[in-house]
């Protein structure tokens, strides 16, 4: 497939440095003062909890949870907060409004999708306007399945390695997944590695075009959702808004579940929780646990 990626070693080095720099730039907003019983902390909202210790720093993305016998005192800014047992709290919700990061676009995107949720009307995801149709008889690919599993685990560099070994532009009909699926998970992995600009180019390569608001409607619903997130991260406001506009395309349960899982794996835990709550409330007959468990 045609991409603008530099050699893999250079890409890994560059994105690795960006990720390290991003973490280093995080500013603590509080600390864990006291702990009793089981208290766990997810420092950067990556859905990876570890046992908390007194003195642990708290960041805006941090999530703290207490077990059945757990209690904690958190100092956030100048305010102290007592957490009782069986409590989960996002530190961002304890911050004054003017201290929270500007996620206005994300909130509008999630709200737009939530407003468009409709009863199930599933339809197959097309292979793409400008890509070969996928015939019924296909065989499997361990590399693709490994790549999806790595994405689900947040191991994005390994996901890229596995997915790049599958060239869907040569004999695409021999695989048991669609061309669109391959572009979706590779785009998601590139975003996870901290390269939203390259994610944009890869997503639009699916329709053999350069990133542009004028052709965003030719993308599949899942790719358009990822483009909205990537464009927002890359500072491409016009493209982000254009990609977010047709929110109704993500209103089916399968697509909603994909959006929720993607938000989780990219660290947007609050937005994922909000979208999931709206989806469960408006489509109560859907087996959300099964949909959200599947990648």
Going by pLDDT thresholds of 50, 70 and 90, the confidence category of residue 202 is very high
Least Cα distance to 272 among 154, 148, 109 occurs for: 109
Task: For residues 24 and 18, give the distance between their C-alpha atoms in angstroms, rounded to a whole number.
Answer: 10
> Which CATH number characterizes residue 273's domain?
1.25.40.10
Residue 168 sits in the same domain as residue 87: no
Residue 138 sits in the same domain as residue 232: yes
Instruction: Establish if 257 belongs to a structural domain.
Output: yes
Residue 115 sits in the same domain as residue 201: yes
Residue 71 sits in the same domain as residue 108: no
Query: What is the pLDDT, as a whole number, of residue 13?
Result: 39
Instruction: Establish if 171 belongs to a structural domain.
Output: yes
- The strand pairing partners of 35, in sequence order, are 72
pLDDT in tens, 139-185: 447 888 889 999 999 999 999 988 888 877 655 555 677 888 889 99
Task: For residues 15 and 193, give the distance between their C-alpha atoms in angstroms, rounded to a whole number.
Answer: 6
Mean pLDDT, rounded, of the chain: 77
Which of residues 65, 94, 123 is at a domain's end? 94
What b/e sequence results for 107-139 when a residue is b if at least 16 CB atoms lie within 10 Å of its CB, and e otherwise?
A: eebbebbbeebeeeeeeebebbeebeebeeeee
Residue 217 sits in the same domain as residue 184: yes
Q: What angle do CA 145, 246, 110 make, to 5 degrees?
A: 70
Residue 34 sits in the same domain as residue 134: no
Going by pLDDT thresholds of 50, 70 and 90, the confidence category of residue 115 is low
Residue 271 sits in the same domain as residue 185: yes
Domain that holds residue 156: 8-13+101-293
How many folded domains does the chain comprise?
A: 2
Query: Is the overall model pTM greater than 0.75, yes or no?
Result: no
Residue 70 sits in the same domain as residue 147: no
Residue 173 sits in the same domain as residue 278: yes
Residue 64 sits in the same domain as residue 39: yes
Residue 68 sits in the same domain as residue 105: no
């Amino acid at each position: 497939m045609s991409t603008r990626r530099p050699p893999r070693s250079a890409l890994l080095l560059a994105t690795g440095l960006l990720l390290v720099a991003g973490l280093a730039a995080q500013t603590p907003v509080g600390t864990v003062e006291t702990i009793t019983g089981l208290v766990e902390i997810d420092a950067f909202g990556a859905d990876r909890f570890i046992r908390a210790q007194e003195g642990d720093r708290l960041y805006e993305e941090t999530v703290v949870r207490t077990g059945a016998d757990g209690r904690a005192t958190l100092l956030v800014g100048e305010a102290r907060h007592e957490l009782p047992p069986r409590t989960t709290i996002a530190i961002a919700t304890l911050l004054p409004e003017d201290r929270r990061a500007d996620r206005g676009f994300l909130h509008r995107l999630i709200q737009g999708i939530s407003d468009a949720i409709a009863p199930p009307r599933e339809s197959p995801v097309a292979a793409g306007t400008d890509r070969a149709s996928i015939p019924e008889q296909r065989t499997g690919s361990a590399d693709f399945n490994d790549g999806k599993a790595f994405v689900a685990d947040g191991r994005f560099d390994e996901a890229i390695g596995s997915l790049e070994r599958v060239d869907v532009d040569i004999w695409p009909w021999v695989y048991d997944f669609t061309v669109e699926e391959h572009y979706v998970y590779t785009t998601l992995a590139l975003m996870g590695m901290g390269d939203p600009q390259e994610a944009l180019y890869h997503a639009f390569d699916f329709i053999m075009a350069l990133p542009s608001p004028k052709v965003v409607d030719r993308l599949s619903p899942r790719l358009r959702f990822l483009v909205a997130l990537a464009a927002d991260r890359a500072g491409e406001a016009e493209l982000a808004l254009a990609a977010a506009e047709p929110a109704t395309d993500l209103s089916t349960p399968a697509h909603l579940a994909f959006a929720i899982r993607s938000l989780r794996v990219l660290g947007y835990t609050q937005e994922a929780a909000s979208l999931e709550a709206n989806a469960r409330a408006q489509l109560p007959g859907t087996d959300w646990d099964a949909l959200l468990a599947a990648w």
